[in-house]
Amino acid sequence: MNPILSSPAWQELGREAERWQALTLREAFAHDPARFSRLSRRWRDWLLDLSKQRLDARILAFCGELWSQADVPGWIARMRAGETINHTEGRAVLHIALREAQPRAEVAAVLAKMRAFCADVHAGRWRGATGEPITDVVNIGIGGSDLGPRMATQALAAYRLPHLRVHYVANVDGADLATTLASLRPEHTLFIVASKTFTTQETMQNALSARAWLASALNEAAVARHFVAVSTALDKVAAFGIDPAHAFAFWEWVGGRFSLWSAIGLPLALAIGYERFAEMLAGARAMDEHFFTTPPDENLPALLAFVDLWNTDFLGICTRAVLPYSHSLGLLPRYLQQLEMESLGKRIDRDGEETAYATQSIVWGEPGTNGQHAFYQLLHQGTLSAACEFIAVRKADFPLAGHQEKLLANCFAQSAALMWGKSESEARAELAAAGAQASLAPYKTFPGNRPSTTLLLPRLDPFELGALIALYEHKVFVLGCLWHINAFDQWGVEYGKEIAGRLLPMLEGKAPIGGVDPSTAGLLEACRQ
Ligand code: F6P
């Protein structure tokens, strides 16, 4: 059984939750004028503001007791020692080893190979089969072999090198590959086939179609100069026809959704240059150091985990909007969906028992200010209670006059409005002052008391981005410990893949439709007619 359930701190949190059902954030700020300084934390030049969450220092202290009860420090030590903490797959969890200052020999060798390859492509020493330089790189991968480098390439748009465009293709829907290839010339295009297992259906289909496109425009022999691979399965890479000399290895102890720091980051390193990629590793390393050495009350990943646990298990808030007020971080919500929901979207604990408490909430979001004109209506006045996570960046990465202040003003306005709300009497007074109809007051009322976190970064550069991603990785780690679940397997995505494998021959007309439920049979029939 999860050891934290029997701890006094868990019981205390239950009592605190009852207290907070009757307490509003307005009241909490009125009772404690120092609430902002009490509930905000600084790390380097970051600011994490938890004062608009429905909690207080006592609650964080009880969560700190859960951290000890769950033996988070012990789990950190086991992870760092390379123990098989991913027990259902019999694997160690060592993505942190990819960004050490002095990485182990196998990691250092791959990083050196990436550096040399990037230098060759950038300098035009690596050329296509016809002797043309590479102008376009297409990463073919999905899930962890796509989302990390794709998100980071967009996040670091301000650092992209000129003369090299990097594209990402993930979906097995041919529209993804076809629309990407439409603007490319084969002689100038390099494909990276990125797959930990090198068996993923979507990636293999896209890789085969890309190879056919290239070979029909040039010839089969040209494939060698236009395809490289990133994988743990180097035998399968060779079987696909990619020269092992052009393969970049990683290892089974790197989970797919934690693999950005490995050669899975190759398209990013090509986009921004290897030196910038190394700066991102350094940022992640700085966050590792903070996580490993800081007590829970000052430890940023721990604090984010505490907020999620509190909102989910004690306040019953099961949806969280990630709202980056940074266009460049626009793909962060999608990246976090995999990182958090694939890691923690589980109901069986480390002892094989069903959890008696809720685990991962739904993660979603859009960058601000765009989201304000789409779903914020619901956040402010809907019946559903969501936790919001605002991520703002002080210094613009694309400094156009007049933009950044408006962006930040909107960000801070939204969290203030969510927290403060507007009572019906306030709405009435405003309407009266404006000479408008009093009957509109209920529509112009905002319940408020809607919790949010704001994380304020100084700037968005490779170092800060590396630290930001590592922050979320470690938050997932802490929640895995607190919820007593293995955050590193993903059996939940296997079942659907298995059924798709059985349906495929039926759809292709190679097998009779059978052994499926009537609805699925009906859908298959409709496609075959
Ligand atoms: O979605 C399931 C999953 O196994 C992810 O964990 C992984 O990132 C993705 O598929 C892609 O897998 P691969 O890198 O082996 O192609």
Whether residues 247 and 134 fall in one domain: yes
Domain count, the chain: 3
The H helix count followed by the E strand count for the chain is 22, 11
The alpha carbon of 87 and the centre of ligand 1 are apart by a number of angstroms equal to 18
Domain identity same for 258 and 389? no
Q: Distance of alpha carbon 383 from its chain centroid, rounded?
A: 27
Judge if 257 and 155 occupy the same domain: yes
- Closest ligand 1 atom to Cα of 197: 15
Instruction: Tell how far the Cα of 144 is from the centroid of ligand 1, in angstroms.
Output: 6
Average pLDDT over residues 317-322: 98
In 21-76, the DSSP E strands lie at: 40-43, 46-49
Phi/psi-derived region of residue 250, left when phi > 0, alpha when psi is between -120 and 50, beta in every other case: beta
The amino acid that residue 461 corresponds to is D
Is ligand 1 within 6 A of the CB of residue 256? yes
Q: Counting atoms of ligand 1 from 1, which one is nearest the CA of 200?
A: 16
In a domain, 307, yes or no: yes
What's the CATH code of the domain at 160? 3.40.50.10490
Known catalytic residue at 497: yes
Name the residue of 89, 91, 142 whose CB sits within 8 Å of the most ligand 1 atoms, as the mutation to test its pocket.
142
The model's pLDDT over 348-390, given as tens digits with 9 standing for 90+, comes to 999 999 999 999 999 999 999 999 999 999 999 999 999 999 9
For residues 378 and 464, membership in a common domain is answered with yes
**What's the token pair of residue 14?**
């239950």
Average pLDDT over every residue of 446-473: 98
pLDDT digits 0-9 by tens, 8-23 = 999 999 999 999 999 9
Q: What is the pTM of this model?
A: 0.98
Q: Are residues 456 and 323 in the same domain?
A: yes
Tens digit of each residue's pLDDT (9 = 90 or more) over 28-71: 999 999 999 999 999 999 999 999 999 999 999 999 999 999 99
Residue 289 is a catalytic residue: no
State whether 455 and 381 are in the same domain. yes
Ligand 1 binding pocket includes 232 (Cβ within 6 Å): no
Domain identity same for 129 and 188:
yes
> Could you tell me where the beta strands, DSSP code E, fall in 291-376?
319-325, 362-364
Q: Is residue 488 domain-resident? A: no
- Please tell me the residue having the least CA distance from ligand 1 atom 10: 143
Q: Is 273 left (phi over 0), alpha (psi -120 to 50) or beta?
A: left
pLDDT digits (tens, 9 = 90+) for 279-319: 999 999 999 999 999 999 999 999 999 999 999 999 999 99
| Domain-embedded: residue 133 | yes
Q: In 142-289, where do the E strands start and end? A: 165-169, 189-194, 227-231, 247-249
Residue 116 has pLDDT above 90, yes or no: yes
Q: Residue 511: which domain range?
A: 494-528
Name the residue of 193, 341, 490, 495 to mutate for ligand 1: max ligand atoms within 8 A of Cβ: 490
User: Is a pLDDT exceeding 90 seen at residue 529?
Assistant: no
Q: What is the distance in A from the centroid of ligand 1 to the CA of 180?
A: 22
Choose, from 31, 87, 163, 373, the residue flagged as catalytic: 373
CA of 391 to the centre of ligand 1 (A): 27
Which residues on neighbouring strands pair with residue 228, listed in sequence order?
A: 192
pLDDT band at 503 (very low <50, low <70, confident <90, very high): very high
| Distance of CA 282 from the midpoint of ligand 1 (Å) | 25
Distance between CA 507 and CA 408 in Å, rounded?
Answer: 51
Determine, yes or no, domain membership for 42. Answer: yes
Ligand 1 pocket, residue 72 CB under 6 Å: no
Which of 208, 239, 272 corresponds to the end of one domain? 272
Contacts of 492-499 with C-beta under 8 Å, sequence gap 24+, read 492/342, 492/345, 492/346, 493/342, 497/201
Statement to judge: residues 318 and 250 lie in one domain: no
Nearest ligand 1 atom, CA 255:
6
Helix axis angle for 105-123 and 274-293, nearest 10°, is 150
**For residue 476, which of 463, 464, 488, 465 has the smallest C-alpha distance?**
488
Query: How many angstroms separate the CA atoms of 254 and 291, rounded?
Result: 19
CA 98 to ligand 1 center in whole angstroms: 19
Q: How does residue 180 score in pLDDT terms, banded at 50, 70 and 90?
A: very high
Of the residues 93, 95, 140, 145, which should be mutated to test ligand 1's pocket, given the most ligand atoms within 8 Å of the CB? 145
Indicate whether 510 and 387 sit together in one domain. no
- Which atom of ligand 1 is the closest one to the Cα of 256? 8
- Across residues 98-124, what is the average pLDDT? 98
Domain identity same for 117 and 226: yes
Ligand 1 pocket residue status of 255, Cβ below 6 Å: no
In the prediction, which pLDDT does 201 show?
96
CA angle 181, 187, 190 (to 5 degrees): 65
- C-alpha distances in angstroms, 59 versus 7, 53, 223, 303, 306? 14, 11, 59, 11, 9
What does the mean pLDDT of the chain come to? 97
416-444 average pLDDT score:
97
Percent of the chain at pLDDT > 70 equals 100
Catalytic residue (one of 298, 424, 497, 525): 497
CA of 256 to the centre of ligand 1 (A): 6
Please report, for residues 110, 126, 270, 364, the alpha-carbon distance to residue 116 in angstroms, rounded to integers and kept in the order given.
Answer: 10, 10, 11, 38
Q: Which residue, among 283, 194, 310, has the nearest Cα to 462 in the 3D structure?
A: 283
Q: Are residues 372 and 263 part of one domain?
A: no
Closest ligand 1 atom to the C-alpha of 231?
14
Q: Is the shortest distance between the CB of 196 and ligand 1 below 6 Å? A: yes
Mean pLDDT of 268-272: 98
Q: Which of 202, 342, 366, 473 is catalytic?
A: 342
Asked whether residue 459 is domain-assigned, the answer is yes
CA of 103 to the centre of ligand 1 (A): 25
According to DSSP, the β-strands at 46-49 and 40-43 are antiparallel
Residue 427 lies in a domain: no
Residue 446 lies in a domain: no
Does the beta carbon of 345 lie inside 6 Å of ligand 1?
A: no
In a domain, 284, yes or no: no
CATH number for the domain spanning 506: value is 1.10.1390
Which secondary-structure segment (H or E) carries 150? Answer: helix 147-155
- Does one domain contain both 110 and 197? yes
β-strand pairing of 387-393 with 319-325? parallel
Number of CB atoms found within 10 A of residue 321's CB: 21
Residue 485 contacts residue 305 (beta carbons within 8 Å): no
Is residue 257 in contact with ligand 1, taking CB distance under 6 Å? yes
| CA 438/CA 198 separation, integer angstroms | 65
Residue 235 has pLDDT above 90, yes or no: yes
What residue type is assigned to position 220 of the chain? E
The 8-class DSSP code of residue 57 comes to H
d(CA 310, CA 302): 12
